[in-house]
Structure 1
């Protein structure tokens, strides 16, 4: 690790604002932006289509997957590069062979984009949707017990978020996967929306035995918008057929062009490859400051600091009644003020937060390079409002 102020010089977007929206989109480092510019210049110089640039493309894909794999605890061949976390979740949701009467279990804290996919699958294939109330376990209750109570002999897939995007609760992934894989009647697969976890939480997905884990690169990893990734457990790749198919999905060493036997079978065709290298560059920058364990420890220290300061303000109530376990800190306004109006006022003063619809509250996100002075300034502004 090295001086955080020197480290923050890479994040030029922080110079004129106090940014608390990493759960929506991160700040792109200067070096990552330069990587995009340099890569596009290189493509034009070499020629956008040819033997030399094609070799560069395959190397870029490989290097990007290797960087991602080092961050989430998997091997590069189990990763598919996508556009974002929703695109990642679409792959297993549409690839699974659904039968009428199958059940999908998901929580009441999932993102609308994922919920919409599940509803369309239900409409097309006659799949039953079951919802379990996870939000209520934020301060009391056991999410593992709630999930277990909603599993049935017809449950085919559980869909959960590792960190709930509205409350910041961290679900016990390894225990949940074990529960589903060892269910009394059959093994139940688990798809995880990791939008809030990649880059903020230590992940060892290989050890967790999770089946599918969708992520995005533009939030806590601070990559460019437009790059996400999906992890598929190695032994499931041959069983999960791709829905969208293109030249990157194919094995050219076989005459009949079958699908590849790695994560690239879920990729399609031409992508904005310089954006891949921007994500790789951002990951390397984070790792240069410290390991994911060190970064997570710093995130929790700062979110705990914000949480304790917010609790001192009359008229504010944090959703979580104990120290947060992630960088997300959500809070209610108890004095009747409109949350949307408060967020708008805050942004006019240089503080970037967001409102959530369910539950209706304000969410602040702190990263490992957020400053305590920024948190103090936000708290003072909230007191004035």
Structure 2
């Protein structure tokens, strides 16, 4: 049963605004969400505004300040935090790098990752280990997909030397939704000489889960606007918990993050999340992200959209589970929009190519070797039919 939204905007009306959804069955929201026409127009208007005002002038500068303030506030409202805790970035990776490189690492420190983190995180951790003599280990959360307690597994891998734990709120490969609040609490309550900081890769959770980061209490929460929010690529953010701000130091530094005296000489850092911002960005994209967020609210509340994602992903999981030769990674219905599955033939890349030839878009995952389909709240049941039927017809070479 589908969720009845509090507003009257029909799904068909929403989809009619999105060029990428015309004559296509799209299941790649976890990679990049398609933008609505209203989002594209907001970006175009902003680029025109900049050119008409300057583009380098006092008036443009005032406009940029308003745009950044409004965007910071729009993001903060979605995450239920104060706008001062938000650093505007370009994407998840930059947010994660701010947190990872901003720590005051020492030889012998321990950095703990889950075994389901993105290669970009793993590569960054490896370089930190090389430069600073930090030990990097992994926590086996993949095995808890269908059984086991992620909180207990994490707690078993904490050490007195652990300085940071990196987790994904929703695991990008299996779709598992981690009990993040409890896992953060386990890290913060661990008896240690220095606090264990928790960095969260939120690539697959922002725009999906109803979030209140004030209660979650993660130290750093890195996200982007171009996936489930369906905004433009090039705009993201990092939430820094107020209690963790003093422990994080800027690494890449520019005029946006510093304070100056009357002669323009640097005197220190901005007092809030702005200290991690660097220099000139594509400011017209900010209007696009705000337009994308506002458009989602026209359909329903965050909770209603999440419930619809759950309903549709459950339907897809059920139908895939019934297909001969197909095994879903989860043995029970997923809690979010990522549905990962395997073919007995393991011809995953061939399947993705076959589906794309039919205008059906999803992707392969390397570890575990599988195919991932992403279901949004405005996915149509007819698209689920189209996907399942095409998989049933696929014959590997």
- Under a length normalisation based on structure 2, what TM-score does the superposition of the two structures give? 0.95
Q: Aligned residue for 1:376? A: 385
Superposed CA offset, 1:98-156 (max 9, x none):
01000001111000001100000000000001111100100011111110110011111
Q: Aligned residue for 1:220? A: 228
Q: Which of 172, 178, 197 in structure 2 is aligned with 1:189?
A: 197
1:267 aligns with 2:293: no
Q: Aligned residue for 1:6? A: 13
Does the CA-based 8 Å contact 2:32-2:228 persist in structure 1?
yes
Secondary structure, in 3 states, of the residue corresponding to 2:172?
coil
CA distance in 1, matches of 2:114, 2:360: 31
Superposed CA offset, 1:5-24 (max 9, x none):
11222222101210000000
CA distance in 1, matches of 2:361, 2:174: 18
Q: Indicate the RMSD between aligned Cα atoms, in angstroms.
A: 1.1
- The 3 A distance-change label for structure 1 pair 178 and 31 is same
Q: Aligned residue for 2:106? A: 99
- The 3 A distance-change label for structure 1 pair 101 and 72 is same
Q: Aligned residue for 2:214? A: 206
More displaced 10-residue stretch of structure 1: 63-72 or 97-106:
63-72
Runs of 4+ aligned structure 1 residues displaced above 6 Å come to: none
Q: Which of 320, 345, 365 in structure 2 is aligned with 1:356?
A: 365
1:158 aligns with 2:165: yes
Once the two structures are TM-superposed, the CA of residue 253 in structure 1 deviates from its matched residue by 6.5
More displaced 10-residue stretch of structure 1: 182-191 or 350-359:
182-191
1:305 aligns with 2:315: yes
Structure 2, unpaired ranges of 5+: 1-6
1:290 aligns with 2:300: yes
Secondary structure, in 3 states, of the residue corresponding to 1:258?
strand
Does the CA-based 8 Å contact 2:17-2:38 persist in structure 1?
yes
Once the two structures are TM-superposed, the CA of residue 77 in structure 1 deviates from its matched residue by 0.8
How many residues get paired? 384
Secondary structure, in 3 states, of the residue corresponding to 1:115?
helix
Does the CA-based 8 Å contact 2:79-2:211 persist in structure 1?
yes
CA distance in 1, matches of 2:356, 2:196: 44
Superposed CA offset, 1:50-108 (max 9, x none):
11110000000011111111111211110111111001000011010001000001111
Once the two structures are TM-superposed, the CA of residue 238 in structure 1 deviates from its matched residue by 3.2
Once the two structures are TM-superposed, the CA of residue 252 in structure 1 deviates from its matched residue by 4.1
Q: Aligned residue for 2:351? A: 342
Secondary structure, in 3 states, of the residue corresponding to 2:297?
helix
CA distance in 2, matches of 1:97, 1:184: 20
Question: Residues 10-159 of structure 1: matches in 2 within 5 Å?
Answer: 10-159=17-166
Once the two structures are TM-superposed, the CA of residue 226 in structure 1 deviates from its matched residue by 1.0
Q: Aligned residue for 1:248? A: 256
Superposed CA offset, 1:185-236 (max 9, x none):
3431100000000001111111111100000110001011111100001132
Once the two structures are TM-superposed, the CA of residue 257 in structure 1 deviates from its matched residue by 2.7
Q: Aligned residue for 1:326? A: 336
CA distance in 1, matches of 2:142, 2:54: 52
Does the CA-based 8 Å contact 1:238-1:261 persist in structure 2?
no
CA distance in 1, matches of 2:196, 2:247: 15
Q: Aligned residue for 2:177? A: 170
More displaced 10-residue stretch of structure 1: 248-257 or 135-144:
248-257
Q: Aligned residue for 1:236? A: 244
Does the CA-based 8 Å contact 2:326-2:343 persist in structure 1?
yes
Once the two structures are TM-superposed, the CA of residue 184 in structure 1 deviates from its matched residue by 2.3
CA distance in 2, matches of 1:377, 1:328: 17
CA distance in 2, matches of 1:79, 1:219: 18
Superposed CA offset, 1:17-56 (max 9, x none):
1000000000111111001111111111111111111000
Structure 1, unpaired ranges of 5+: none
Does the CA-based 8 Å contact 2:110-2:136 persist in structure 1?
yes
More displaced 10-residue stretch of structure 1: 134-143 or 286-295:
286-295
Once the two structures are TM-superposed, the CA of residue 337 in structure 1 deviates from its matched residue by 4.6
